[in-house]
Structure 1
Amino acid sequence: MCLGIPGQIQSISDPVNQLAIVDISGVRRPVNIACIVDEDHPLESCVGEWVLVHVGFALNRIDPDEAAATLDLLDQLAEFDTRELEIANLK
């Protein structure tokens, strides 16, 4: 199973290698954005874009509302998992 996580491009850190700093749920990490750069979307225009990140690569751009909904769902799953662990530890 593959999981892509929404993140927002904060800055271009290495234009030659097409690397950007992406904020993923408050964690900033380098991500390769070569897959989303083209003639219509040059490197500099990517700052501020929401992207789907998987294993260090931005696979595609996503709508900000879709990003927010996905992040909310991931937060709910994490909360559910935490509650389940707490219940299991009480048994």
Structure 2
Amino acid sequence: MCLAIPAYVEQLTANNHALVNISGIHKEISLALVEDIVPGDYIILHAGFALQKLDPAEAELTLAMFAEISSINRSP
């Protein structure tokens, strides 16, 4: 099973990479598969690669659903 998650692009780095924020976790990822990404964009991330740019409203909704699922799993 594959899981691609929304990530917020914080800054562009060397060699077509970017620093992204995934719910507070910072990671450098590859932008080799996408074009026209700028800081402030949301992308879909899988296995260290951005797969596509994501609409900010859709990204926020998806992240909110992940947070809700996480809180349910932590309930006693």
**TM-score scaled by length of structure 2:** 0.91
Whichever residue aligns with residue 40 of structure 2, its letter is G
C-alpha RMSD of the superposition:
1.1
Deviating runs (4+, > 4 A) in structure 1? none
- Structure having the higher Rg: 1
- Answer yes or no: is 1:5 the counterpart of 2:10: no
Cα distance in 2, alignment partners of residues 65 and 6 from structure 1:
11
Cα distance in 2, alignment partners of residues 49 and 65 from structure 1:
11
Cα distance in 1, alignment partners of residues 24 and 73 from structure 2:
20
Whichever residue aligns with residue 25 of structure 1, its letter is S
Whichever residue aligns with residue 26 of structure 1, its letter is G
Cα distance in 2, alignment partners of residues 47 and 36 from structure 1:
14
Give ranges in structure 2 of 5+ residues lacking alignment.
none
1:68 Cα deviation after fit: 0.3
Give ranges in structure 1 of 5+ residues lacking alignment.
87-91
1:79 Cα deviation after fit: 0.7
Same amino acid, percent of matched pairs: 30
Cα distance in 2, alignment partners of residues 34 and 10 from structure 1:
17
**TM-score scaled by length of structure 1:** 0.77
Match of 2:56 in 1: 64
